[in-house]
Amino acid sequence: MKTLLFILYGGKSVEHEISLKTALTVIPSIDPRKFDVYPIYITPEGVWCSHGKLSSVPAEIKDLVLLPSFGQAASSLGDIMTRFFSLAGNKVVLPLLHGSNGEDGTIQGLLELIDVPYVGNGVLSSAVALDKAVSKELLSHAGIPQVEYRNFQYAQWTLNAEEVSRSINENIGYPCYVKPASLGSSIGISRCENEEELRDAMATAFRYDRKIVVEKEVAGREIQVAVMGNEQPLVSVPGEFIQDKSFFDYNAKYVDGRLTMSIPADIPEHLADRIQRTAKLAYQTLQCAGLARVDFFIDPQERLYLNEINTLPGFTKFSMYPVMWEKTDGTTYSELIEKLIDYAFMRHLEKQSIQYSR
């Protein structure tokens, strides 16, 4: 009997478009002999929509955009729960929701409440990893090296911008990066070379979040690894994007299409081993499950700094995560999706042993 696979995409997030691009790559890769696919589109306003079981593979983004309607199409979360999540058979959810209201533990909490297996990280790890300010503090306590950083709240900036600027000048310096604490895909991030640029960058970042992170720039290379698994995760060979910019903004990642991957990254074996061990430690420190991409900086003296952990790395044609696994052990795109689904079922089964009564 086929497994019912519910794929969530879109979402009330500034990363809505990235989610659509991910879904457009993932859905055609699903083996129809093993899965009945139920695409569920969440509009930018947060409305859940589905036409039920997939009847034809989407060829372009517009095929994924479902509009709220009445009749055969489900046009609310309650409607989808009643019509589709109540169907008999094995079920699993594949959330492809990047950023707010999807990668931050909110969807994961809903799926925990209705007791349905789902791919990827749980409530705690999703929320913690997306919040750079919190994750940096936890990783620091675990002894994982990171670049010099400071976290600031919106109220701090509005009440005393001069004091915040002075703290950044004295403790971080320039160049530095200003980032919204809880976003990905380089949205809202700015590189600053002076205090005037810093003020503009703070205004930009605070449009997307009430909390920001300011980090010192590392002159060096950015290396990534893919991690997969639950309590005993596997780590891929390191990969690297060949840079022609000071940093990868949104256009460089998703629009220009000029990124060049180097997998495995051209680094010494001892450094690759250190990256893999540190990535595994970081993954376990944040109690990740299913998958994550871990990003590092390496300076010319081979000093290693963890940049961030992405608990829902992109699966677009420009994305590093699936390619790193293919280069590591030959895992194809379709096989990777199925492995992640298997980890979801394993984690859900293990949780069934938890006792909820005395």
CA 281 to each of CA 61, 139, 234: distance values in angstroms, whole numbers, following the listed order: 37, 9, 11
What is the identity of the amino acid at 278? Answer: T
Q: Please count the other Cβ atoms lying within 10 Å of the Cβ belonging to residue 255.
A: 10
pLDDT for 356: 84
Q: What is the CATH topology of the domain spanning 3-118? A: Rossmann fold (3.40.50)
Q: Is 76 a catalytic residue?
A: no
Can you give the pLDDT at residue 314?
A: 83
Active-site position among 19, 126, 185, 236:
185
pLDDT digits (tens, 9 = 90+) for 85-101: 999 999 999 999 998 89
Nearest CA to 153 out of 142, 145, 138, 163 is that of 163
Question: Closest Cα partner for 111 from 123, 103, 99, 100?
Answer: 123
**Rounded Cα distance, 17 and 62, in Å:** 11
For the chain, first and last CA: distance in Å? 36
- Over residues 319-350, the pLDDT tens digits come to 899 999 999 999 999 999 999 999 999 999 99
**Residue 198 contacts residue 176 (beta carbons within 8 Å):** yes
Residue 147: closest CA among 307, 38, 264: 307
- Domains of the chain by residue range: 3-118, 148-216, 221-350
- pLDDT category of residue 244 using cuts at 50, 70 and 90: low
CATH for 148-216 (3.30.70.270, 3.30.465.10, 3.30.1490.20, 1.10.1200.10): 3.30.1490.20
Question: What is the pLDDT averaged over residues 50-76?
Answer: 84
| Partners of residue 335 on adjacent β-strands | none
The active-site residue, picked from 135, 182, 190, 319, is 319
pLDDT for 315 equals 85
pLDDT at 353: 84
310 annotated as ligand-binding: yes
The answer, yes or no, to whether residue 30 has pLDDT greater than 70, is yes
Q: Is the pLDDT of residue 70 over 70?
A: no
- Residue 135, CB half-sphere, CA atoms under 13 Å: how many? 29
pLDDT in tens, 220-240: 999 999 999 999 999 999 999
Assess whether 193 carries a catalytic annotation.
no
**pLDDT tens, position by position, 169-180:** 999 999 999 999
Q: Quote the pTM value.
A: 0.90
Count CB-CB contacts under 10 A for residue 106: 17
Q: Rounded to 5 degrees, what are φ and ψ at 48?
A: -90, 130
For 129, residues 6+ apart whose C-beta sits below 8 A from its C-beta are 121, 135, 286, 288, 292, 308, 309, 310, 311
Closest to 239 measured CA to CA, from 259, 217, 209: 259
Concerning whether 269 is annotated as a catalytic residue, the answer is no
| Distance between CA atoms of residues 213 and 219, nearest Å | 19
Among residues 39, 12, 44, which one has the least CA distance to residue 26? 39
Residue of 13, 15, 135, 240 with catalytic role:
15
- CATH architecture type of domain 221-350: 2-Layer Sandwich (3.30)
Please give the helix or strand (H or E) that residue 153 lies within, else none: strand 149-153
Whether residue 20 contacts residue 8, with contact meaning beta carbons closer than 8 Å, is answered with no
Mean pLDDT across the stretch 8-24? Answer: 93
Q: How many CA atoms lie within 13 A of 329 on its CB side?
A: 12
pLDDT tens profile 172-220: 999 999 999 887 657 789 999 999 999 999 999 999 889 999 999 998 9
What does the alpha-carbon distance between residue 101 and residue 136 come to, in Å, rounded to a whole number? 21
Residue 307 counted as an annotated binding residue:
no
